[in-house]
Amino acid sequence: MTPYAWTVIGAGPAGITAVGRLLDHGLPPEKIAWIDPAFAGGDLGQKWRSVSSNTHVALFLNYLNGSPAFRFAEAPPMPLQEIDPHETVALALIADPLVWITRHLRARVNIFQTTATALFLTRRRWKIETEQQEFTSENVILAVGAVPKRLAYPGLDEIPLEVALDPEKLAAEPLEGATIAVFGSSHSTMITLPHLLRQPVARVINFYRSPLKYAVYLDDWILFDDVGLKGRAAEWARQNIDGVYPDRLERCWVSSPEFKGKLAECDQVIYTVGFEPRTLPETKQWGRLQYNPTNGILAPGLFGLGIAFPEYAPDPYGFGQYRVGLKKFMDYLDTVLPLWLRYGP
């Protein structure tokens, strides 16, 4: 069986970026394989549509127009193009263009609508096992995304993050009179808290570890670009967390003597404490590999991109952050793809 030159696993924003850039580099479409169970814009398109973005519209448009293979200039008019470029938006407005781009990229490369289960390096090729079949590829890009991190406090019913971030799904939960614990101080936290306070809960207790961080827009860079609060989440946090707590909201430092008692008062819990990489597919020889966070290399011919394998880079003052966001995935790929093209098995 002739191997593919490149296989991209995952069709979220990172996988879309990878397929686009491989085509932009002149890779023949028939030499590219692309695997995903849904091809529906990844988690952004399937779970986070109602979430308010932390990126301005201008940067999203910059991303969408950044790959000739995306052919976004040919897309039908979409609401994203009508909005003030300095605004943030619901992620649905970026999910729709991603789905449009996916549809026509799919028509060019080889599609496997399934889940990759394992990888094995043999005879200078990667053997890729999926739930349906197996095939070989000279190089593989893992763009498999991440899942919300969870802490393990016993005795509390957990409300999944994808429910907490979606007002309609949250309204369907039995929340009347409940006391809800929310762990974290992230962008997701500052979206979850106001959503909860619009429900008939008795109380919300936000358990935190450290002061909030806010992004600051400077002339040509953003302080705390990846870890700081932005957009509506930042506005809400300034007024309600670092300002005056709204009725029914309490906060509790996890290292304080009150922590255990406060947690015991809660019925349900929501963890908004970040993300961790998805586990599948694993390599058969080495299990789960560590990636190099400055160039994405996992092994010869095996590379990681997207929220599961973000670039780690310092800002102009030397503060290091993991870089997560659509345009960042594209810019990073532009710096590492020349290496990847020369680092086959």
- Candidates 20, 301, 304, 325; binder of ligand FAD (CB under 6 A) is 325
Nearer to ligand FAD, 17 or 262 (CB): 17
Asked if 296 interacts with ligand FAD (CB under 6 A), we say: no
Name the packing angle between helices 326-340 and 13-24 (round to 10°): 50
Nearer to ligand FAD, 188 or 262 (CB): 188
The size of the interface with ligand FAD (CB under 6 A), counted in residues, is: 37
* Identity of the amino acid at 343: Y
Which window, 44-52, 150-158, 218-226, 285-293, contacts ligand FAD (CB under 6 A)? 44-52
Could you give the CA distance from residue 92 to residue 80 in angstroms, rounded to a whole number?
9
Nearer to ligand FAD, 19 or 307 (CB): 307
Site for ligand FAD in 48-87 (CB under 6 A): 48, 51, 53-55
Asked if 192 interacts with ligand FAD (CB under 6 A), we say: no
Residue 294 structure tokens? 């400055």
- Candidates 49, 187, 203, 262; binder of ligand FAD (CB under 6 A) is 187
Residue 309 CA to chain centroid, in angstroms? 10
- Candidates 4, 19, 21, 43; binder of ligand FAD (CB under 6 A) is 43
Q: How far is CA 120 from CA 116, 184, 283, 338, in A?
A: 12, 38, 6, 24
Q: 250: closest CA among 238, 260, 261, 241?
A: 241
Tell the residue number behind the tokens 């789905």, with chain if given.
99
Name the DSSP letter for residue 166: -
Least Å distance between CB 325 and ligand FAD? 3
Asked if 225 interacts with ligand FAD (CB under 6 A), we say: no
Nearer to ligand FAD, 53 or 67 (CB): 53
Least Å distance between CB 232 and ligand FAD? 11
Nearer to ligand FAD, 43 or 96 (CB): 43
Neighbours of 86 (CB within 10 A): 9
Site for ligand FAD in 5-24 (CB under 6 A): 9-15
Element (H, E) at 117: strand 116-122
Name the DSSP letter for residue 124: T
Residues in contact with ligand FAD, shown as a per-residue x/- string from 137 to 176 under the rule CB under 6 A: ------xxx-------------------x-----------
Site for ligand FAD in 99-128 (CB under 6 A): 115-116
Could you give the CA distance from residue 34 to residue 36 in angstroms, rounded to a whole number?
7
Nearer to ligand FAD, 121 or 263 (CB): 121
3 state DSSP class of 179: strand
The CA radius of gyration of the chain, in Å to the nearest whole number, is 21
Residues in contact with ligand FAD, shown as a per-residue x/- string from 251 to 290 under the rule CB under 6 A: ---------------------------x-xx---------
**DSSP state letters, 249-261:** EEEEETTSTTHHH
Sign of CA dihedral 303, 304, 305, 310: negative
**What percent of the residues of the chain are helix, what percent strand, and what percent coil, each to the nearest 5?**
30, 25, 45
Residues that bind ligand FAD (CB under 6 A): 9-15, 35-38, 42-44, 48, 51, 53-55, 91, 115-116, 143-145, 165, 187-188, 278, 280-281, 306-308, 324-326
